[in-house]
Amino acid sequence: MEQIKKELRKMMKSSEHTPIHLFADNSPYFITGAIYKKRPLLENSDIKKKLSELIRKYFAKYNWELHHWVVLNNHYHVMGKSRRGDDLVPLIRNIHRTSAIRIHKLTRCGKPVWWNYWDYCPRNEKEYMTRVNYLLNNPVKHGYVRNLRNYPFSSFHTLYEEKGRDELIWQFKKYPDYSKLVLPEKKDDF
């Protein structure tokens, strides 16, 4: 029992000011990064584009698979798969540090730029697909567009090309709980 507790402490990180993070190897991860005080610092199209490039760059650097992503005005969501769970912190730290420098330079905003990040490891296909649909639907949920094809800062377009319209309609119908999903980070009111 003591060995199990030791392994769990190694896999998880928690402190007073951050949520608990699970460090799992070869596992799916749903990650949300949020701007401090919900400021719309990502509103600029160039900033959104650069952030999405940084996400791709650092996922590749740490050999994590990047499955889906969306960048909105004050937060982003990504769905991927870890190689080494211990790389979660440096992966996100690099994305946030590098993007914060660019965001601060372009917007002259006060610091800090980023508030925090939350991660969740889906346990099965339903949890995974519900979060994928949630991520993909975020631009509609937040009122940026009425049609996902009109939002360029998301992996939706790649998925649309790969699967096609009918397959995506089926996906949203098969996993409809995305519309009722309330993420734990919403409780923290970032």
| Integer angstrom CA distances of residue 57 from 17, 86, 97, 106, 181 | 27, 18, 13, 21, 29
| Averaged confidence pLDDT in the chain | 90
Nearest to 156 by CA among 139, 142, 178, 141: 139
Asked if residues 135 and 186 have their Cβ atoms less than 8 Å apart, the reply is no
Q: What is the mean pLDDT of residues 58-62?
A: 98
Q: pLDDT tens across 71-124, in order?
A: 999 999 999 999 999 999 999 999 999 999 999 999 999 889 999 899 999 999
What's the predicted TM-score (pTM) here?
Answer: 0.87
